[in-house]
Chains A and B, each alone.
Chain A
Amino acid sequence: MDAFEKVLAARDTNRPTGLSFLNAIVSDFVEFHGDRRFGDDPAVVGGVGRLGDLPITVICTEKGSDTKDRVSRNFGSAHPEGYRKALRLMKQAEKFRRPVLTLVDTAGAFCGLEAEERGQGLAIAENLMELMTLRTPVIAVVTGEGGSGGALALAVANQVWMLENAAYSVITPEGCASILWKDAQRRDEAAAFLGLTAEKLLELGLIDEVISEEDGDFDLVKEHLKFQLTTAFKILSALSDEELTRQRYEKFRTMGVNRIC
């Protein structure tokens, strides 16, 4: 698959959504609602559950399973209250030193009137700051679309993984092509240049692991993911709070440094 084919694969409505991964990976899941400030955003699902024996906090973006569900979840594009709910649950996880798993699959933070009015930029900014110093292990997995700031707001983590055909990008290929060449049709070219595939991002040092999609056998992918997450959380949980936050900070601190002259 070329870069744009991967973008299409990541967006495919037949691809398992966040909740499908969550339900396969986490048992005894109890969903928590609301940001305690404004409301409850169905585009973001979060709560507590077990990864094997380990109690964890898990947060995913959810695009919805059928048309009605998709509409009610705004196709997985969160409003500020979604990011604030996520932050509330992360802070709660920190309090109990429960590891945090985020599953990211979003076209991006919602670009709407109410979202702006309620501080979309600030909501994302606050998550970036707080995640950076969260005193508990954090792993983020981009399972489908990693849409810019709306994805990053859930992905400042000790480990950032991507599924083989996921696409993590600063801008959609269509948006990029339309700004640069005033022609959204040249989206496949843009996708290639943006370097948004898991393979390329691993090479650039921006993600830590690529998860094989096992030729589309997602039951197997989920099983593998569960096993890898269990192992990784075991290793991270042994680190002190200081080691965890330092490792996370230093990882992001170096990004882009070797791109400067």
Chain B
Amino acid sequence: MLRKGLFKKPSNELEAGGEHGEPAPEAPDRLVVRCSSCKKMIFDEDFRSNQMVCPNCGKHMRLSGRRRILTVADPGSFQETNSDLCSTDFLSFPEYTEKLDAAQRHSGEAEGVVTGLMVVNGCPCMVFAMDHRFMMGSMGSVIGEKITRCFEEAQQNKLPVVGFTVSGGARMQEGLTSLMQMAKTSGAVKRFSDAGGLYICVLTDPTSGGVTASFAMEADILISEPGALIAFAGPRVIEQTIHKKLPAGFQRAEFLQEKGFLDLVVPRKKLRGTLYRLLSLHRREDGGYGRI
């Protein structure tokens, strides 16, 4: 049976939730899916066994935060931290409570980032992974707080941080408090970095706005996946500002690498191996990392 809305294209890439990529946990099993890039019908099973990368064209579909962690962590090694933090509608912003409820139901997560401790091929590290299914990974107080704590806990436990970002930007329903999360997380990254901690960030499709302009870009090593959109201002905003069509490939991972803003573009299949190599290259004989 074909899933309802299968052929419906999201009107805006940054607003697209689970329409393409991983289905919501309560979504019915689907037999075939259409690749949003090459438009070919693919057996869902083939998609899943290939880590949600199209076996035909190599398009990397979005993954939930939790799935991201599971694709790189040693089995059973992930221990979640601060899982109980939830957002509040402190500005009494229209429909915010309803949107939070819907996002929780849709994603099965309490908020838009999962944090914790994981082990990658024997190398322990702290991890945070944002979730596009939760209001497109928009950063509010909880995301800011969980990411800040992730760096603080990494510093206390003398561990590196591996991050996965996906975000449409700041969460406007929290007003200026959401903007301040950029300063707060940047402060935490800076303290961790000054202490000698290693931070590797994987920027996934799409990473934009306030997240790009704070902790996403602040890592020692910047990695992305093929074709990922990485921007400060999204393509639509730029086109509206300059009244011109943007060239193909603009703000994609390969473009950023060419311009000197990314270290590596790594296909999903090779990410675990790359992370392991980088972590182990920073690991001392006594098990510590870098200077911490």
Q: Which residues of A pack against B, CB within 8 Å?
A: 109-113, 115-122, 124-126, 128-130, 132-133, 148-149, 152-153, 156, 168-171, 176, 179-180, 193-196, 201, 204, 206, 249, 252-253, 255-257, 259-261
A116, A176, A204: the one within 8 Å of B251 (CB): A116
Q: How far is the CA of A148 from the CA of B179 in the complex (A)?
A: 7
B interface, size bucket: 35 or more
Chain A minimum-CB-distance residue to B209: A149
- Check A255–B261 contact: CB distance below 8 A: no
Chain A residues positioned under 8 Å from B214 (CB to CB): 124-125, 128
Q: What sequence of 0s and 1s flags, for each residue 156-179 of chain B, a beta carbon within 8 Å of any chain A beta carbon?
A: 000000000000001010111111
- Check B141–A259 contact: CB distance below 8 A: yes
- Check B86–A260 contact: CB distance below 8 A: yes
Q: Which residues of B pack against A, CB within 8 Å?
A: 85-88, 90-95, 140-142, 144-145, 148, 170, 172, 174-184, 186-191, 193-194, 209-210, 212-218, 230-233, 237-238, 241-242, 244, 246, 250-251, 259, 261
A255 touching B177 in the complex, CB below 8 Å, given contacts A113-B242, A115-B232, A119-B259: yes
- Check B145–A169 contact: CB distance below 8 A: no
Chain B minimum-CB-distance residue to A124: B213
The A-B contact count (CB < 8 A) is 183
Chain A residues positioned under 8 Å from B145 (CB to CB): 256-257, 260
Chain B residues positioned under 8 Å from A125 (CB to CB): 186, 212-218
Distance (whole angstroms) from the CB of B207 to the closest CB of chain A: 9
A119, A122, A126, A259: the one within 8 Å of B174 (CB): A259
Q: How far is the CA of A133 from the CA of B188 in the complex (A)?
A: 11
Q: How far is the CA of A118 from the CA of B142 in the complex (A)?
A: 31
- Check A121–B232 contact: CB distance below 8 A: yes
Q: How far is the CA of A47 from the CA of B218 in the complex (A)?
A: 27
Q: How far is the CA of A111 from the CA of B212 in the complex (A)?
A: 14
Distance (whole angstroms) from the CB of B96 to the closest CB of chain A: 9
Chain B residues positioned under 8 Å from A149 (CB to CB): 170, 179, 182, 209-210, 213, 232
Chain B residues positioned under 8 Å from A109 (CB to CB): 213, 232-233
- Check B182–A259 contact: CB distance below 8 A: no
Chain A minimum-CB-distance residue to B180: A255
Q: How far is the CA of A128 from the CA of B145 in the complex (A)?
A: 16
Chain B residues positioned under 8 Å from A194 (CB to CB): 91, 172, 175-176
B87, B170, B218: the one within 8 Å of A171 (CB): B170
Q: Which 7 A-B pairs have the closest CB atoms?
A: A256-B141, A111-B233, A121-B212, A128-B186, A121-B232, A124-B213, A120-B232
In the assembled complex, 24 residue pairs joining A and B whose CB atoms fall closer than 8 Å, in A order, are A109-B233, A116-B232, A121-B216, A121-B217, A126-B217, A126-B218, A128-B214, A129-B193, A132-B186, A148-B210, A149-B210, A149-B232, A156-B187, A169-B176, A196-B176, A249-B191, A252-B180, A253-B148, A256-B141, A256-B174, A256-B177, A256-B178, A259-B141, A260-B88
- Check B85–A111 contact: CB distance below 8 A: no
Q: How far is the CA of A90 from the CA of B242 in the complex (A)?
A: 31
Chain A residues positioned under 8 Å from B87 (CB to CB): 259-261
- Check B177–A133 contact: CB distance below 8 A: no
Q: How far is the CA of A129 from the CA of B95 in the complex (A)?
A: 33
Distance (whole angstroms) from the CB of A149 to the closest CB of chain B: 5
Q: How far is the CA of A152 from the CA of B188 in the complex (A)?
A: 16
Chain B minimum-CB-distance residue to A255: B180
Chain B residues positioned under 8 Å from A180 (CB to CB): 94-95, 172
Distance (whole angstroms) from the CB of A260 to the closest CB of chain B: 5
